[in-house]
Structure 1
């Protein structure tokens, strides 16, 4: 299942409710470390997400989402936007050509989706909807929007359902 929506729309909270009743949940946090120097807002956001998670959930941090899908049980990946950013950051690739960035992200996504296809449990992906806003002024913003839009389409195509969350309300697409 893919859960998408705007920033602060309630998509993570909704995704967490979809995990209710799962005996084992792996929460994959593929974004930057909460200890990113000089970013107290990011640290606060990570702390809020951590405080909502049940103690029984196992958290995996980092961009190797495919490995996190290697076990049994339910998996929640929150979120694909931070995953895309982290993949590019790991490679220090923001200055590469758009084609190179697309190839990098798509190759990594191929591995993730192959692992997802063989995962025996439920997977809930969380992502930001990026196709409804203005065209970003900066190159990195435009590239991110385009990359995440493509990632979202591929994950949606491989998901049994897609939920759009707007202002805390859920629409099944």
Structure 2
């Protein structure tokens, strides 16, 4: 296993499976593409993040950053990114959810290409977790459609540079 993309729906076991792929390896960098959890603004989310950290091996390092490509370029050992859907949310936060679609798409597609290049160049094992958003209803909101379109493009770009793609369904892994 060198580069793996783990995908699936909400609460299907993606993160657990991804962590299991790296268990036993020392010095894993766990990259979380978001902002640090703040218990004053979202106590439930902060508690969830704390539980996840406690469940990880003690020698794993958590890296909280929106610039995942840079974090991958800095990491030389085993790395887990959880998750690309959160990364995409942060990209849209940065460009503005109401930015006209062509401009937002162009900016974020550059970032998708940069992320895929960083994954391809990563020297150690890497596991990326992402979401499948295209299996449900098409959003009535332009922002929801933009998110789904861009995350789908990111998933395709990452799928093209990894060695294996795993689809999680009801806690079971299906290798694609």
- Relative to the length of structure 2, the TM-score reads 0.91
Q: Which moved more, 1:16-25 or 1:39-48?
A: 39-48
Match of 1:135 among 133, 138, 143: 138
Cα drift, residue 100 of structure 1: 1.5
Residue number in structure 1 paired with 2:28: 25
Structure-1 separation of matches of 2:90 and 2:150: 13
Structure-2 separation of matches of 1:83 and 1:111: 13
Aligned: 1:73 with 2:77: yes
Residue number in structure 1 paired with 2:67: 64
Change (3 A) 1:146 1:49: same
Aligned: 1:5 with 2:4: no
Residue number in structure 2 paired with 1:118: 121
Residue number in structure 1 paired with 2:147: 144
Structure-2 separation of matches of 1:33 and 1:60: 10
Structure-2 separation of matches of 1:162 and 1:74: 17
Aligned with 1:76: secondary structure? strand
Cα drift, residue 140 of structure 1: 1.4
Structure-2 separation of matches of 1:90 and 1:107: 14
Structure-1 separation of matches of 2:43 and 2:130: 22
- Which stretches in structure 2 are left out of the alignment for 5+ residues? none
- Which stretches in structure 1 are left out of the alignment for 5+ residues? none
Deviation per residue, 1:31-89 (Å, 9 max, x gap)? 23311753334323322322221111111101111221122111100000000101121
Match of 1:90 among 91, 94, 97: 94
Runs of 4+ in 1 over 6 A off after TM superposition: none
Structure-1 separation of matches of 2:87 and 2:119: 15
8 A Cα contact 1:32 1:82, kept in partner: no
Cα drift, residue 167 of structure 1: 1.1
